[in-house]
Structure 1
Amino acid sequence: MTALSDVLIAVAVIVLVVGRQLRARRLDTERRFWLLPLVLAVVALRDPVLIDPDHRTAAAVLVAGSLLTTAGMGCVWGWTVRIWREADGSLWSRGTRATAFAWVGALLLRGCWYGAGAALHVHQPGSVLLLSLGLLLLVRSAAVRWRARQLDGERHALAA
């Protein structure tokens, strides 16, 4: 895939996910939350030049650092989501203002990593963006699922 198509895929996923996260939605803890991140990772890892062959060490450090900060932002994002239980017992979630700020922060960090790569003359393909986005979504969903299970645990403890 070309860098432009990688960026277009990333933008489409971001618009879809952010739009969904800022609306109240029933939380389905049985959903395969890992499927979209897996697809993004597979598409990204098919890129033969994920690591710049002319600057292997610097490129590997940039990708690793980027993925580490992305995982951190996924945790932050997962903790900014409001989760509650309705009277019928169903779990619901909705992104908050902090969720929007977490997205802005994640995008700014992504820009900083690209800026660092540009300053070091390291080529960073769009597939790194897809890989980061997949990790961000995976960590965020795992954090929300964990929080939802904690809420279920509190409910069961109160009933006992």
Structure 2
Amino acid sequence: MNEVLYALVAVAVIALLIARQTRPQRIGGGGRRWLIGPAVMVFLGLKEGHLVDTHHAGLSAGLLVAELVVGLLMGVGWALTSRVWTDPDGSVWSRGTKATAGVWLAGFAARLGIMGLGALAGVQQSYGALLIALGVSFALRGLLLNQRAGALSPGAGAPYGGGVAGR
């Protein structure tokens, strides 16, 4: 696949993920299944290789670190802007808010900036770094949402999330 097609696929996946987060999702009850997707993304990103351009090793490594930092910040932002609540039956749910979509858009803009800087500097880039950063985002988001869910007492029925908009 060429780079333009990868970029279009990435945009479509991000749009799908943002849209998906506007619907309630049950948290917990499945052990650590939420880690499977992020683990696969990180594995595929590492398998892709070419994470550092040998002709621009320092700058390329810096761009990779920046990509990972954006991934970490997105995971934290995504989890903190999601609303978490319990139903009367004790099940814990989450749903992204408008702020969650804003986190995704900001992260996407930051990633475009990182890619643009790399392109201007002539750094050869692969989609592996993006997959790894997204995997990190999903893993951190899952970890933080599961921690927030665990802090809720069963059947409390009250939202947790510091006043983040309701369902």
Q: Which amino acid aligns with 2:25?
A: R
Cα-to-partner distance string for 1:23-44 (whole Å, 9 max, x where unaligned): 0122235351111111111111
1:35 and 1:46 map into 2 onto residues whose CA distance is: 16
Gaps of 5+ in 2: 157-167
Cα-to-partner distance string for 1:41-98 (whole Å, 9 max, x where unaligned): 1111112312111111110111012101220121011000000011111111111110
Identity %: 35
2:3 and 2:45 map into 1 onto residues whose CA distance is: 11
2:122 and 2:153 map into 1 onto residues whose CA distance is: 49
Is the helix fraction higher in 1 or 2?
A: 1
TM-score, L = length of structure 2: 0.81
2:83–2:97 Cα contact (<8 Å) kept: yes
1:34–1:138 Cα contact (<8 Å) kept: yes
Does the C-alpha gap of structure 1 residues 41 and 5 become closer, same or farther in structure 2, counting only changes over 3 Å?
farther
TM-score, L = length of structure 1: 0.84
- Give, in angstroms, the shift of residue 2 of structure 1: 5.4
- The aligned residue for residue 69 of structure 2 is 68
Following superposition, which runs of at least 4 residues in structure 1 exceed 6 angstroms of deviation? Answer: none
- The aligned residue for residue 163 of structure 2 is none
Gaps of 5+ in 1: 156-160
Matches within 5 A, 1:136-155: 136-152=137-153
Matches within 5 A, 1:8-157: 10-31=10-31, 32-152=33-153
Aligned partner of residue 89 in structure 2, secondary structure: coil
2:81–2:100 Cα contact (<8 Å) kept: yes
Aligned partner of residue 55 in structure 1, secondary structure: helix
Does the C-alpha gap of structure 1 residues 80 and 13 become closer, same or farther in structure 2, counting only changes over 3 Å?
same
2:64 and 2:47 map into 1 onto residues whose CA distance is: 15
1:5 and 1:134 map into 2 onto residues whose CA distance is: 20
2:70–2:133 Cα contact (<8 Å) kept: no
1:2–1:126 Cα contact (<8 Å) kept: no
Greater mean alpha carbon deviation, residues 75-84 or residues 47-56: 47-56
2:49–2:128 Cα contact (<8 Å) kept: no
Instruction: Say how many residue pairs are matched.
Output: 154
2:103 and 2:151 map into 1 onto residues whose CA distance is: 22
